């Protein structure tokens, strides 16, 4: 039998606290150690119980959810933010949040977040990653040179997409379409702006409207007027403009 997953719920709305507890009651693996309705109380309970899982509201009087996390020393539970506001998603990613539940959420969305949390917690306990958790504070002080993840808002939910999972990116007016397998996600950002945040050794601008993950390229075929067809492993066909060909040559270290 798996050890109980010690959980703390923090929300300045008592009704919201009780609703999360009700949703967790049917799960025999979850042990709710405390319900907290403000930041200082949350810090005390977290330091006392050292939970595996934390449901944390963001906007609370006096001490918001991010200040609660900054107050912790060597405690790093899996964090599921629960909030009515989507504007904190980037900050949530920066503190290694597992998930970001937007109120109002339904049972199915909640259960998916909990299932992922349980899987990670069990995995972490099996591998004994205490040392890794202790280094998270140091990692937060170092901003990655290039994006490792994107925050995607789609279908009423917010999730984090690893850049290494992206196949290619396409400009669509004021948006870019992020292509991942058979799915496509729209993000309100210019292609050139996004290009500056991507690792140039992994993502190559091949056209004024296209960036491709070079690990997804299967074949290049000469085309007219110095252009090339770019074939991806999933069958997608893109075009490499001659105006961007030098970038590929520089990446390869020789003329193509």
Each residue's pLDDT tens digit, 164-175:
999 999 999 889
Q: Enumerate residues 6+ apart whose C-beta is below 8 A from 137.
A: none
Confidence of residue 68 (pLDDT cuts 50, 70, 90): very high
Q: What is d(CA 164, CA 73) in angstroms, rounded to the nearest whole number?
A: 32
Confidence of residue 148 (pLDDT cuts 50, 70, 90): confident
Q: Are 206 and 200 in contact (CB under 8 A)?
A: no
Q: What is the pTM of this model?
A: 0.51
Q: Are 43 and 36 in contact (CB under 8 A)?
A: no
Q: What is d(CA 126, CA 2) in angstroms, rounded to the nearest whole number?
A: 11
**Residue predicted with more confidence, 153 or 249:** 153
Q: Which of 27-36, 152-161, 181-190 has the highest mean pLDDT?
A: 27-36
Q: Which of 35-44, 66-75, 245-254 has the highest mean pLDDT?
A: 35-44
In the chain, pLDDT over 70 holds for what percent of residues? 89
3-state secondary structure 39-81: HHHHHHHHHHHCCCEEEECCCCCCCCHHHHHHHCCCCCCEEEE
Q: What is d(CA 63, CA 23) in angstroms, rounded to the nearest whole number?
A: 26
Confidence of residue 39 (pLDDT cuts 50, 70, 90): very high
Q: What is d(CA 222, CA 230) in angstroms, rounded to the nearest whole number?
A: 9
Residues 102-109, mean pLDDT to the nearest whole number? 90
Confidence of residue 129 (pLDDT cuts 50, 70, 90): very low
- pLDDT for res 172: 93
149-252 adopts what CATH topology? OB fold (Dihydrolipoamide Acetyltransferase, E2P) (2.40.50)
In the block, tokens 């799960």 appear at: 27
Each residue's pLDDT tens digit, 171-212:
998 899 999 998 899 988 899 989 988 998 899 999 999 999
User: What spatial distance separates the first Cα and last Cα of the chain, rounded to whole Å?
Assistant: 58
Residues of the chain with CATH 3.40.50.2300: 5-140
Residues of the chain with CATH 2.40.50.1020: 149-252
5-140 adopts what CATH topology? Rossmann fold (3.40.50)
In the block, tokens 């040559």 appear at: 249
Give DSSP secondary structure letters for the chain: -PPPEEEEEE-SSHHHHHHHHHHHHT-TTEEEEEEESSHHHHHHHHHHH--SEEEE-S--SSS-HHHHHHH-SS---EEEEEES-STTHHHHHHTT-SEEEESS--HHHHHHHHHHHHHHHHHHHHHT-HHHHHTHHHHHTS--SS-SEEEEEETTEEEEEEGGG--EEEEETTEEEEEETTEEEEESS-HHHHHHHS-TTTEEEEETTEEEEGGGEEEEEE-GGG-EEEEETTS-EEEE-GGGHHHHHHHHTS--
Residue 138 has pLDDT above 80, yes or no: no
């Amino acid at each position: 039998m798996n050890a109980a997953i010690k959980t703390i719920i923090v929300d300045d709305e008592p009704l919201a606290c009780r609703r999360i507890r009700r949703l967790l009651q049917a799960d025999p693996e979850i042990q709710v150690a405390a319900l907290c309705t403000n930041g200082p109380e949350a810090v005390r309970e977290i330091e006392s119980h050292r939970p595996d899982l934390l449901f944390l509201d963001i906007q609370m009087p006096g001490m918001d959810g991010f200040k609660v996390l900054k107050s912790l020393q060597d405690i790093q539970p899996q964090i599921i933010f629960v909030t009515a506001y989507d504007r904190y998603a980037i900050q949530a990613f920066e503190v290694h949040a597992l998930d970001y539940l937007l109120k109002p959420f339904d049972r199915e969305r909640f259960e998916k977040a909990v299932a992922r949390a349980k899987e990670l917690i069990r995995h972490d306990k099996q591998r004994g990653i205490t040392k890794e958790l202790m280094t998270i504070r140091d990692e937060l002080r170092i901003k990655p040179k290039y994006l490792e993840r994107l925050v995607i808002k789609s279908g009423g939910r917010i999730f984090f997409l690893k850049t290494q999972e992206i196949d290619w990116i396409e400009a669509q007016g004021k948006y870019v379409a992020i292509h991942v397998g058979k799915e496509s996600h729209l993000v309100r950002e210019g292609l050139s702006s996004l290009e500056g945040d991507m690792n140039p050794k992994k993502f190559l601008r091949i056209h004024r409207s296209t960036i491709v993950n070079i690990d997804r390229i299967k074949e290049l075929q000469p085309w007219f007027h110095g252009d090339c067809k770019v074939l991806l492993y999933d069958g997608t066909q893109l075009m490499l403009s001659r105006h961007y060909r030098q970038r590929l040559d520089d990446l390869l270290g020789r003329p193509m």
